[in-house]
Amino acid sequence: MPTQLEEVLARLLTDAERLLPLVVAPSHRWTITSETKESTQSQVMSVTRHAGALVESYARALGAMHKLESFTRAKSAFEGDKTFTEGQRAAGYWASFESVLQSVIMSCGRMGKRKVKIDLPCAMRLVASIRSGLQQKQLQYSASCRLFGVELAPRRLDCPDHMSIHRLTRKERNERQPTIDPFFGSSMDHHELLSARTEVRLPLVVTVDHSEEAAIFAASNRATELARTAFGRLISALLVTRPGLAQLGPLSLKGGLAGMGLGQFSSRRELIPIKLQLTARDLPHLTTAYGLFAENSGDRTLARALHTDSSWDANEMTSSTNSLTM
């Protein structure tokens, strides 16, 4: 049986479909058009930002939605739910009614030929997931980062601390390309991602301390810190294991509380293009080097001498534990 909140929210979403205007939100991104072992050809191509179009549609319709009786009833039921009201202490705006409603429309809506359609079962699952996430004592995250300058022979190489290195296909690199924002960042930074064929991934489980203010934000920050520490150790171990130059690309963090936006950090400098070739035979040496950096994470002189990522801070290694589960 649906709860009262689910019933009134479903009614609001049904009413909202009539108010949400069709929006086209074209954008552009670098896309690989052809590739050989020696070179990669690419060009800027148009793409449709479905999520962006839905957010713009929601923003245009919000004033009219506020006047709906179903909006008032749904907001009242939402604010009467103890989990969501108390959850705002841990997640702030992301646990508010307006944020959850926007997440539902962005994740479960689609632009049809004549109107916006909202998948109600999808919406109810997402609301339940957000509500459940606000009560969890642990949250799961997935961190990933491109390895510039690293060429991986096998498709996958499993590393210490549950990390894995992957050789991305052309399709995977195109799918991961960010859209070009004319107001922020540089499109040339996006272009460089096309040639980065190697990615490191790390699953994380982080404890949420609900006794502290903004507990879910703190958990996300810990996940980012742990990922950067692990990736920093890995890149240092790679530079010990094999000749060549390599450095970290943008760090991407996903997971945590459903619907909550997580940031991406990127800062790096140019390298002399001497590729670091990595094969499965290098794994024992890589594991040994990684272990040495984990045990001697306070050796800043050695770490800085080997590390080429200008954004790296040796304090991160000394402030984190060797365990990657918090």
Residues 6+ apart with CB under 8 A from 13: 104, 105, 118, 120, 123
Residues 6+ apart with CB under 8 A from 63: none
Which has the closest alpha carbon to 154: 286, 290, 282?
A: 282
Residue 286 burial class via C-beta count within 10 angstroms: exposed 0-12, middle 13-18, buried 19 and up: buried
Cα(48)–Cα(28) distance, integer angstroms = 8
pLDDT of res. 159 = 95
Per-residue model confidence as pLDDT tens digits over 251-279: 999 999 998 877 665 555 555 567 899 99
Note whether 226 and 139 are within 8 A (CB).
Answer: no
Residues 6+ apart with CB under 8 A from 18: 115
Per-residue model confidence as pLDDT tens digits over 59-76: 999 999 999 999 999 999
| Pairing mode of beta strands 156-158, 164-167 | antiparallel
pLDDT of res. 298 = 47
HSE-CB of 249 using CA atoms within 13 angstroms? 22
pLDDT of res. 301 = 45
pLDDT of res. 293 = 84
Per-residue model confidence as pLDDT tens digits over 226-255: 999 999 999 999 999 999 888 898 899 999
Q: Which long-range contacts (CB under 8 A, 24 or more apart) does 152-159 make?
A: 152/197, 152/198, 152/278, 153/277, 153/278, 153/279, 153/280, 154/279, 154/280, 157/278, 157/280, 157/283, 158/283, 159/200, 159/234, 159/283, 159/286, 159/287, 159/290
Phi, psi dihedrals of residue 134, rounded to the nearest 5° = -65, -15
pLDDT-derived band at 312, boundaries 50, 70, 90: very low
Per-residue model confidence as pLDDT tens digits over 9-53: 999 999 999 999 999 877 888 888 888 777 778 888 887 778 889
Structural domain spans, the chain: 4-133, 138-319
Report the predicted TM-score, pTM, of the whole model to 2 decimal places. 0.82
Per-residue model confidence as pLDDT tens digits over 205-215: 999 999 999 99
Element (H or E) spanning 228, and its range? Answer: helix 215-241
Residues 6+ apart with CB under 8 A from 43: 30, 31, 33
How many Cβ atoms from other residues are within 10 Å of residue 57's Cβ? 22
Taking all residues of the chain, what is their mean pLDDT, rounded to a whole number?
Answer: 84
Q: Which amino acid is at 217?
A: F
Element (H or E) spanning 117, and its range? Answer: strand 116-118
Residue 24 burial class via C-beta count within 10 angstroms: exposed 0-12, middle 13-18, buried 19 and up: exposed
> Does the pLDDT at position 126 exceed 90?
yes
pLDDT of res. 166 = 98
Cα(324)–Cα(203) distance, integer angstroms = 9
pLDDT of res. 163 = 96
Note whether 103 and 259 are within 8 A (CB).
Answer: yes
Per-residue model confidence as pLDDT tens digits over 75-125: 999 999 999 999 999 999 999 999 999 999 999 999 988 899 999 999 999
For Cα atoms 261, 114, 106, give the angle at the middle one, nearest 5 degrees.
Answer: 5
pLDDT of res. 2 = 66
Number of residues assigned to the chain: 326
